[in-house]
């Protein structure tokens, strides 16, 4: 295998000498040692030009649809022809014969992501208007819809308030260990430097690009990308051949009015004076699951599609665990695993086994259960009758403790709300965290289902599933509380796991998985799901897509225009229904009064009906608008 020059240089500093190193025709080289030493190279990635005469405004604002096209085109040409545009891989991407069909597909993708054309003229596809670009969240939603059950779509997205910024190493690790491909969001910022600290005054624009290379070692770090606006002398009339553009990556301290943190600055090798910041990464990889039991010292990771995605890749790998682990969760970075061990919650590296204690209960207390949310908070059910929340990125910070009505025995997080099961009073406590403090909503469990201290709670897709001694009881969330749902699971179930797109997987007494789809007609067998029919152990955890976005954090990015600060789209506060600058009880009352209605301001997620998802969005956004 030919190793490109940057990788050959990296080998000299030791980056390619240890841990996970593989060589295949598609993802050509992957290696991850640590956050400062890694290598990732993918070949055969399409490089579709966005500047085209067959798009509104000559495609000036179509970096988002173009980036999605590249990702989906790679997927379709490497084992999944039914999931993408279907144009053959290799040099044929640039063939003149494909120009018209590529333009038509970009138009379709532009409509799917509500691409704004940047022109006041009537547009043939996407949205017309003075704004320019696509929403970051809409690209994620489009990829998730296109890729379906066979892939995980994961976002690593900056949060000023938490001081979190995505890093090149997170993608490199996902590429090395999950066979990920993906794209990045960069932002252009104005401000003043003070040493290595950048004090932001504004964000002027942004851009989407597709990642082809990520390398670090010996004190340097570089990203190679497919840039939709680079190419031939006149890309508006011809599709240029694939080309890699390069960013140098350096760490800086970033300070804004909303928060601060350690961020990665991207600069071209010819170094411009403007600050370009890595703000988001969307990575996709074949869906997988984890399975384990209390008798094992390892959990197995199974990737059913691995053989077609990357020939020769092992379909099953083992993850180290403490013997007797009753519960584990995989963090959104997909590097760390949280497990319950000897009364404490432990974090350990999925690949090296190295670990630290994330949470130890006070003396005389016990951990009854835990879950991890998309923003890397640990939620713990304590035997003292309390809920605890711990920031897994700041383990030294004090836990947030919330009293509950009785002892919780299980906890399940859906969105940004932690749900604690309290069998003693047949209650689920929904705990929401806001800047002004936590709030608890008690939800009585109706019916006569058996609930005891061994019952496990799973909240997913607007339902609460209670598993007790092999039997599953299902309840639907409504404004009036929980109501029994007509979802008739078979008896003898050992575990239940939440998946993407309304899918639930169960493990039967024979240790074989069954995939179910939740539909308006009830529970429907989903035998085509990649996780259906797998031989597993008694416990199951599905890899799932994650947005990493809080309500109101989305924004448009433009392709190649520099917008004036006054024109930069600001986050809308959709949950502030009465437009008073806050999301509070008055907005909650509007949701409840408009329940099940269509064409309502209370339809926060714009799915056509006011329902449980809108209620959850309002509850999770309590407080002042950003």
Distances (CA, A) of 150 to 176, 315, 364, 503, 541: 19, 14, 45, 12, 15
The larger pLDDT score, comparing residue 559 to residue 284, is at 284
Please name every residue paired with 413 in a beta bridge, in sequence order, or none if there are none.
418
SS (HEC) of 118-135: CCCCCCCCCECCCCEEEE
Q: Taking 90 as the threshold, does the pLDDT of residue 443 lie above it?
A: yes
- 285-294, 422-431, 613-622 — most confident range: 422-431
What's the rounded mean pLDDT across residues 258-271? 83
Question: Can you point out the beta strands (E) in 71-219?
Answer: 116-117, 132-135, 151-157, 181-194, 197-217
The larger pLDDT score, comparing residue 568 to residue 526, is at 526
Half-sphere exposure of 150 (CA within 13 A, CB side): 16
In the chain, the percentage of residues whose pLDDT exceeds 90 is 39
**pLDDT attached to residue 453:** 94
Helix (H) or strand (E) holding 5, with range, is: helix 5-12
Distance in angstroms (rounded) separating the CA atoms of residues 23 and 29: 5
pLDDT digit string, tens, across residues 574-622: 787 765 667 888 888 888 877 887 656 777 776 767 888 888 888 878 8
What's the rounded mean pLDDT across residues 474-489? 90
What's the angle, vertex CA 110, arms to CA 238 and CA 601, rounded to 5? 165
The pLDDT-based confidence of 227 (bands split at 50, 70, 90) is: very high
What's the angle, vertex CA 333, arms to CA 401 and CA 300, rounded to 5? 100
pLDDT digit string, tens, across residues 57-91: 888 889 999 999 999 998 888 888 888 887 765 55
What's the rounded mean pLDDT across residues 333-345? 86
**pLDDT attached to residue 388:** 96
Q: In this structure, which long-range contacts are made by residues 81-86, counting pairs with CB atoms below 8 Å and at least 24 apart in sequence?
A: 83/146, 83/147, 83/148, 83/150, 83/151, 84/146
The pLDDT-based confidence of 571 (bands split at 50, 70, 90) is: very low
**pLDDT attached to residue 434:** 79
Helix (H) or strand (E) holding 63, with range, is: helix 63-77
**In the numeric block, which tokens belong to residue 225?**
């990308």
The pLDDT-based confidence of 394 (bands split at 50, 70, 90) is: confident
For β-strands 355-359 and 367-372, DSSP reports them as unpaired
Of 50-59, 299-308, 488-497, 612-621, the least confident? 299-308
**pLDDT attached to residue 127:** 62
What's the rounded mean pLDDT across residues 116-133? 68
**Judging by beta carbons within 10 Å of its beta carbon (0-12, 13-18, 19+), is residue 4 exposed, middle or buried?**
middle
What are the chain's domains? Answer: 5-286 (no CATH), 289-496 (2.130.10.10), 573-624 (1.10.1330.10)
The whole-chain average pLDDT of the chain stands at 82
The pLDDT-based confidence of 264 (bands split at 50, 70, 90) is: very high
Of 322-326, 361-365, 390-394, the least confident? 322-326
Are the C-beta atoms of 74 and 44 separated by less than 8 Å? yes
**pLDDT attached to residue 239:** 81
- 21-30, 188-197, 462-471, 593-602 — most confident range: 462-471
pLDDT digit string, tens, across residues 93-124: 777 788 888 999 999 999 898 888 876 555 56
- 36-50, 217-231, 527-541 — most confident range: 527-541
In the chain, the percentage of residues whose pLDDT exceeds 70 is 83
**pLDDT attached to residue 19:** 30
Of 110-124, 135-149, 503-517, the least confident? 110-124
- DSSP code string of 11-59: HHTTTTSSS--B--SSEEEEEEEETTEEEEEE-S-----S--TTSGGGG
- DSSP code string of 434-496: ETTEEEEEEEEPPS-----TT-EEEEETTEEEEEETTEEEEEEEETTEEEE----PPS---EE
What's the rounded mean pLDDT across residues 533-541? 95
**pLDDT attached to residue 311:** 56
């Amino acid at each position: 295998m030919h190793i490109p020059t940057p990788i050959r240089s990296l080998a000299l500093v030791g980056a390619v000498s240890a841990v996970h190193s593989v060589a295949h025709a598609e993802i050509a080289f992957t290696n991850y040692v640590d956050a400062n030493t890694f290598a990732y190279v993918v070949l055969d990635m399409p490089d579709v030009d966005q500047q085209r005469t067959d798009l509104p405004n000559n495609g000036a604002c179509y970096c988002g649809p173009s980036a999605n096209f590249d990702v989906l085109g790679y997927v379709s040409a490497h084992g999944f022809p039914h999931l993408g545009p279907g144009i053959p891989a290799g040099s044929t991407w640039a063939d003149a014969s494909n120009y018209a069909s590529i333009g038509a597909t970009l138009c379709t993708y532009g409509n799917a992501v509500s691409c704004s054309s940047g022109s006041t003229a009537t547009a043939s596809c996407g949205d017309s208007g003075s704004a320019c670009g696509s929403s970051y969240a809409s690209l994620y939603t489009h990829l998730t819809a296109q890729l379906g059950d066979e892939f995980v779509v994961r976002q690593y997205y900056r949060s000023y308030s938490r001081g979190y910024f995505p890093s090149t190493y997170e993608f490199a690790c996902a590429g090395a260990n999950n066979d990920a491909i993906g794209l990045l969001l960069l932002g252009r910022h104005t401000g003043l430097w003070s040493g290595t600290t950048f004090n932001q005054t504004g964000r002027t624009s942004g851009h989407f690009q597709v990642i082809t290379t990520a390398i670090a070692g010996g004190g340097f770090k570089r990203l190679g990308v497919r840039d939709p606006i680079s190419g031939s002398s006149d890309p508006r009339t011809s599709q240029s051949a694939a080309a890699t553009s390069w960013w140098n990556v350096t760490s800086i301290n970033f300070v804004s009015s909303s928060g601060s943190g350690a961020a990665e600055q991207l600069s071209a090798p010819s170094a411009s004076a403007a600050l370009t910041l890595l703000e988001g990464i969307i990575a996709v990889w074949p869906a997988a699951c984890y399975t384990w039991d209390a008798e094992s010292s390892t959990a197995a990771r199974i990737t059913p599609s691995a053989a077609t995605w990357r020939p020769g890749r092992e379909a099953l790998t083992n993850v180290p665990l403490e013997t007797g682990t009753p519960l584990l969760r995989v963090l959104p970075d997909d590097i760390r695993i949280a497990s319950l061990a000897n009364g404490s919650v432990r974090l350990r590296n999925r690949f090296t086994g190295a670990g630290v204690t994330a949470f130890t209960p006070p003396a005389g207390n016990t951990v009854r259960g835990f879950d991890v949310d998309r923003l890397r908070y640990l939620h713990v059910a304590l035997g003292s009758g309390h809920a605890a929340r711990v920031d897994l990125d700041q383990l030294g910070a004090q836990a947030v403790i919330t009293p509950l009505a009785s002892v919780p025995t299980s906890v399940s997080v859906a969105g940004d709300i932690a749900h604690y099961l309290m069998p003693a009073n047949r209650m689920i406590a929904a705990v929401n965290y806001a800047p002004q403090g936590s709030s608890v909503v008690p939800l009585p469990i109706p019916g006569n289902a058996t609930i005891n201290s061994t019952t496990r709670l799973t909240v997913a897709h607007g339902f609460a599933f209670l598993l007790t001694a092999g039997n599953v009881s299902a309840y639907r969330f409504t404004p009036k509380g929980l109501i029994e749902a007509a979802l008739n699971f078979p008896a003898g179930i050992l575990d239940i796991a939440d998946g993407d797109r309304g899918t639930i997987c169960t493990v039967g007494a024979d240790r074989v998985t069954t995939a179910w789809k939740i539909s308006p007609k009830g529970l429907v067998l989903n035998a085509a799901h990649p996780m259906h029919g797998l031989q597993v152990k008694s416990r199951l955890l599905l890899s799932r897509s994650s947005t990493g976005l809080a309500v109101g954090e989305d924004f448009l990015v433009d392709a190649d225009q520099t917008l004036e600060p006054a024109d930069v789209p600001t986050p809308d506060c959709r949950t502030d229904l009465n437009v008073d600058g806050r999301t509070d009880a008055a907005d909650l009352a509007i949701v409840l009064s408009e329940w099940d209605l269509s064409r309502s301001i209370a339809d926060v997620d714009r799915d056509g009906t006011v329902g449980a998802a809108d209620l959850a969005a309002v509850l999770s956004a309590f407080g002042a608008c950003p």
